[in-house]
Structure 1
């Protein structure tokens, strides 16, 4: 089989063919019935383009900046946990991102140490959960700073929903002999995936080395997850505290409402990601692209705005930028590429996105992604979801007070 693939959909098909059922299930899973994960992609199909028939046809410029980092195209790697789809995991992704001139987001729950990832890509943001005590959070930030992280991604958009209508993927807490015997029927019928690990000389690592404290051992993924679930949720003063302690650029990930975006600015963040955690948060949340235009308009140029959720092709990137995003973050798309062909597979996905962006710019007769705006799109009436905006004064007498904060 030709290792090159031409679409992200093909990367997904190859990942499904290559991976054990449980591993692939973890990549496609969304919370509850998956309404939001489906909506993230469906919403992009409602947006059309308004192309020009003549105009500039020279080389198109896709470069932009996010949190001071120069990007060759408006795409960043979104942090995802325990990338056991390939032995090289986050290091392979970091190398691919560096090779294509974009920044890397590294999860707290990653399977590779932050030092190794930053060595592969100096333009790495460390993703932080509000997890454990403040002293432990400070220690993790200090380690990220010492390793050379260029910024923080503070992720707060995650709820505790475990149920999925199609069944949650079965993932062992650790790969001991008992677990390997249990999963043997799945892995033995996927010889290519198994041989990749056998050649690497180690089994899939389900620990979270970046969650270790001091000289203590790295917790398992579920141990780290349990610590996060047991930590009281932060408030806005905690967000401000993170920004003050880091004393560098911080992106707040998971913003879907205007009031939250404005509070984020007041708390000191330098960027926000309009995101519903890829459909893994509260099912029934609107598609991120529907919330983007109103949020982007509300914050203006005060902070950088990126979009996370549903990106599968370069034209999706262009639509997000035209509606106010500085760039987008991708998650599942690059994981499918990693599963399909390691580092070259991730580079393949990034090349697909770059090609799609270039094609859309050519059709729109735009020479730069910085020239994109809403006039380049066909946005149907009622597309946006204006969340967290006070009701119009004329409507207040006729509406219950409980409904007056969400459009």
Structure 2
């Protein structure tokens, strides 16, 4: 319906807030401690500028590129996010939307839909894993993803388990049972459309993680999987190298911020990295990803594909990131708000909004191809960039 269309990602966020129970919406905002990094992810893009041309521009623009061997229609891919209980179709709806718009899907190992269903909806699916459990268990999870048809692996290593928030963390249940339904009934009943979506689907919000179990074990709840992750000692660089070799294909390490870590990632055999602070969920006070991007590109960009995630809300944000060296960007909250606002169509809407903004920025900059963007297309103020870490000896 025409009135379901929204013209900005911020409007999708407004509609998501209006549609979702407060606890569910609050979980999407995330951001650790005082939220300084979350805020900087957004603020930093506003500090960058453009110098547009007014004549001699062309109205035809090629936005296509490739990431980890996958041709995509524009430099935007779906970042993996856990249990998408904002809509009954969850990750399957997101995968279909991404496929409809010609881009790749990142599927979290903490997702609420099986990897087989998601790959069926979008063959360009990258499976995401944390370092959790022993190597045999992780190898079995990789085997399942490979057998399902996943075309790449994303290893997320940038969460320090800081979940306290100065403005209050949402109350997230371990599972949806009678006690949970009674506890959350007052806020859920104030959001009847969200409740009706699940009633029509014949299912309750699913807080289990079907991609975690191996050997026909039952799927753990989100917090059960989270507990396994927290209980696993952090990986070494040898572990990263093992993971890349065990997968044996396109392999992205997500969460880089330091130049020395970038060099070690390249030496460990990764084929791509994402400069990221986990959307503000790693150590609060980490700089915005866009501030750290150029230093990582300079360090390893000739050998490894570099993408970034964190703070993307507009097509012009995408153009700024690509001009500063990113192959593409990954979006998270933006598509979740679209999913909450209008299901698969809402995610497609978000992708269309971003595409339109990219196209408009290329027009103003006088570029015909996304690959023509250069750093001097962006005005970078003094003191904007951050270089973390030194080049290892």
Q: TM-score, normalised by structure 2?
A: 0.98
Residue of structure 2 in register with 1:254 after alignment = 255
Residue of structure 1 in register with 2:139 after alignment = 138
Q: Where has structure 1 moved over 4 Å in runs of 4 or more?
A: none
**In structure 2, distance between residues paired with 1:159 and 1:273:** 17
C-alpha displacement of 1:37: 0.5
**In structure 2, distance between residues paired with 1:95 and 1:325:** 25
Residue of structure 2 in register with 1:60 after alignment = 61
CA deviations on 1:3-22 (whole Å, 9 max, x unpaired) are 00000000000000000010
**In structure 1, distance between residues paired with 2:336 and 2:328:** 19
**In structure 2, distance between residues paired with 1:294 and 1:92:** 36
Q: Contact (CA 8 Å) 2:33, 2:164: kept in 1 or not?
A: yes
C-alpha displacement of 1:213: 1.4
CA deviations on 1:302-345 (whole Å, 9 max, x unpaired) are 11000100000000000000000000000000000000000000
SS in 2 for 1:254: strand
RMSD, aligned α-carbons: 0.9
Residue of structure 2 in register with 1:169 after alignment = 170
C-alpha displacement of 1:152: 0.2
1:102-251 mapped onto 2 (5 Å cutoff): 102-251=103-252
Residue of structure 2 in register with 1:293 after alignment = 294
C-alpha displacement of 1:300: 2.7
C-alpha displacement of 1:207: 0.1
C-alpha displacement of 1:56: 3.4
Which ranges of structure 1 fall in alignment gaps of 5 or more residues? 391-404
SS in 2 for 1:135: helix
C-alpha displacement of 1:162: 2.0
Residue of structure 2 in register with 1:393 after alignment = none
Q: TM-score, normalised by structure 1?
A: 0.95
Residue of structure 2 in register with 1:333 after alignment = 334
**In structure 2, distance between residues paired with 1:49 and 1:199:** 47
C-alpha displacement of 1:241: 0.1
Q: Contact (CA 8 Å) 2:70, 2:124: kept in 1 or not?
A: yes
Residue of structure 2 in register with 1:90 after alignment = 91
CA deviations on 1:72-93 (whole Å, 9 max, x unpaired) are 0000000000000000000000
**In structure 2, distance between residues paired with 1:307 and 1:357:** 16
Residue of structure 2 in register with 1:31 after alignment = 32
CA deviations on 1:13-38 (whole Å, 9 max, x unpaired) are 00000000100000012101111001
